[in-house]
Structure 1
Amino acid sequence: MADDPDFSFCLEDSTNELLKHEKMSAKNTAVLLKNHEIAYQLVTDFVNVSKNEKHLGESLTHIRKLEREKDLLETKIRRGEEITAELREESSNLRSQLLDKQNEVPLLAQDGEMLKEKLRELLIDENVVKTEKEQQHNSVILTKDQYKKFVGCHIRLLERDDHGHTYIFKFENSPPGSTETLPPKSAKVYQSLKKEWKLLETNPILPNFELLSKTLSETQDIQGLLRLLNTTLKQQAKQHSKGREI
């Protein structure tokens, strides 16, 4: 049978078909493997795409955050520039004021020297006034005995101020325990620092008071006034005595 030509031909065809089928199977297997690799790669790529999309979303969120921070920084920069401009302007104004003050320094120094000079003059004037007061007071006190001896009166300092002294000239001793500011038979007289005398008041009130006051203002003769006062008071006392006798 093996030698049968028909059988040999069939066997040969079968072998060829089998080889052909095996080749086809091998080819299909290769195609399947290739497709499997492609499918695996697609799945892998899909997973990677998902990861990339997630990463992209995170990146976009971060980008938006960075943009907000950028806007905030730009706002701060603009505000900083505005503040810088304001500070520059203020600095310029202060510099101008400083220059003005520096220009005023010599004038202030000159004014200071003038004030010092005026102060020295005032101190000198004050010392002069103080000395004049002391001299005036001492002059009156030193002549108390002379007034008592030649005019017949006692002198008492009533008060003093920045412009002069007020004295009480008494022509008789006050009664013991008397507290009268202006006792009987006395006169209140004021002497200024310029040594000008002025009759202020008498006790009792004299009818010729105005004439006596005017005379003292014109003559500045205090001793003459006191003698005249003493005479007038004695005459008035005699008149009162005669009136009581009648």
Structure 2
Amino acid sequence: MNILLIEKEEAIIQILEAFFMKEKWNYDIATDGVIGTKMYSLNKNKYNLVLVDVELPSLDGVEVVKYIRNISLETPILVLAEKKFEEELISSLQQGADGYLARPFSPLLMVARIKALYRRINLERGKRVNLNIEQVICTKYLKIYPEKHKVIFNKQEINSLSPKEFAILTILASSPTQVFSRKKLLELVWGNEYFGDARTIDTHVKTLRQKLEKVGPHVIITVWGVGYKYDELNFDI
């Protein structure tokens, strides 16, 4: 395991270092956002995971997540922040972070989250469970090429989807008009070891809709009290 920790507080760095060493994980440390993004850009194939503090000097954590996602859609990112920074946590998820830990958190929980995320990422890369990764998904107005991470909607390519947005769209579009509960989407996209809540799905669906609706109508439908579905029934171009 090679981890990039972008964190400004020395006390937290020392605590995390102790647990990294106990797990025999390799790690690099940056104490501000600009240094962190430079380190990542120079070693993007090195890191298995990035831990990012929301409150960073020079460049805040949300911008760091955005920068990393512009370089790579694959590297897992966990965001660290106090609960009072809910808006920043939501923004980081919208920019492509895979999850967050709210302070104060147990270092043991952090280690468990890292291990769970690492296992899930490797499973997705190796088997692509539940995403029909070998097949092109095609509806009347949508084509998804899973192996290429490519989406064409209303005859236009959408190249700004985060890995989670891509996975949610793939699941919904693979079974048009079927309603998926938030819990089921969490299980399919994040895995059974996810520690968050259903609002995470709502955040990603919101940004996914915004990106699709820049080029076409509303096709991801909310079924109130249940979940979401992909439906082109009222899609008339």
Question: TM-score, structure 1 length as denominator?
Answer: 0.24
User: Higher strand proportion, which one?
Assistant: 2
User: Higher helix proportion, which one?
Assistant: 1
Q: Point out the structure with max Rg over C-alpha.
A: 1
Question: TM-score, structure 2 length as denominator?
Answer: 0.25
**Which protein has greater RCO, CA pairs closer than 8 Å, 6+ apart?**
2
